[in-house]
Amino acid sequence: EFLYCDLASMKSIRQFVQRFRAKNCPLHVLVNNAGVMLVPERKTEDGFEEHFGLNYLGHFLLTNLLLDVLKQSGTHSHKARIITVSSATHYVGKLHLNDLQSRCSYSPHGAYAQSKLALVLFTYRLQHLLTANGSHVTANVVDPGVVNTDLYQHVFWVVKVVKWMTAWLCFKTPEEGASTSIYAAVSPEMEGAGGCYLYNEERTKSADIAYDEELQRRLWTESCKMVGISDEASRLP
């Protein structure tokens, strides 16, 4: 069943959550998968830089507004699961806490990489909070690999030509790209496992900076301010 949700609009996200709640359905799996890549400098309707606003803040707000439903739906033996799709680009990403909107100097590559690093930091902090609360919910982050989708529409024309010529050899199909997200969502092997970075259906190491707990906390607090929700996590270690 389709419900409309524009991840680039805080209003749309809140309306979506209201419509979903009205159905009184359980929520066992949430996959955060929306994204843009290398778009020219522009803002969402809420005034956020588009990479950061859509790729990261939209998922941050959506997940937080659905957390209580996820907690109610999970059980000791079958935990609810949150899967967030990041990218290997996060390895070269830098988080500029004083300029999350990339106002000082905009770079499509830098803004995209920052948004993907933010998703990893968010996932690790979220799992820490879920564990501290004893919630029957796990949070993991996925790297789908290089997938042949329309995500590359804003790259240079030369790159588009190379992609067109080599996609059959170097790129995953959308189905192949989705496999690790599906693995994280339904595999019995992932039952109860949280705070993992997954690539090709295996746990692997993310960027060193992503494990910085102080950075995780600071990003979480700032994100709460930006989307207008209370930072209940501030009362936890």
Domain assignment present for 5: no
Domain assignment present for 237: no
Domain assignment present for 1: no
* Residue of 56, 112, 183, 197 marked active site: 112
* Beta-carbon count within 10 A of 15 CB: 15
Domain assignment present for 131: yes
Q: What is the CATH number of the domain that holds 128?
A: 3.40.50.720
Domain assignment present for 39: yes
- Does residue 202 register a pLDDT over 80? yes
56: left (phi over 0), alpha (psi -120 to 50) or beta: alpha
Q: What is the pLDDT of residues 147-192, one digit of tens each?
A: 445 544 444 434 444 444 454 446 656 677 688 899 999 999 999 9
> What is the domain range of residue 119?
10-227
Banded pLDDT at 74 (limits 50, 70, 90): very high
**What's the number of domains the chain is made of?**
1
If DSSP codes are grouped into helix, strand and coil, which group holds residue 139?
A: strand
The answer to whether the beta carbons of residues 34 and 55 sit under 8 Å apart is yes
Q: What H or E segment, with its residue span, contains residue 68?
A: helix 58-73
- How much of the chain is in helix, strand and coil states, percent to nearest 5? 50, 10, 35
Q: Is 91 an annotated catalytic residue?
A: no
β-pair partners for 85: 142
Q: What is the pLDDT of residues 90-144, one digit of tens each?
A: 999 999 999 998 888 899 889 999 999 999 999 999 999 999 999 999 999 998 8
pTM (predicted TM-score): 0.87
**Residue 76, token pair as written in the block:** 């000791």
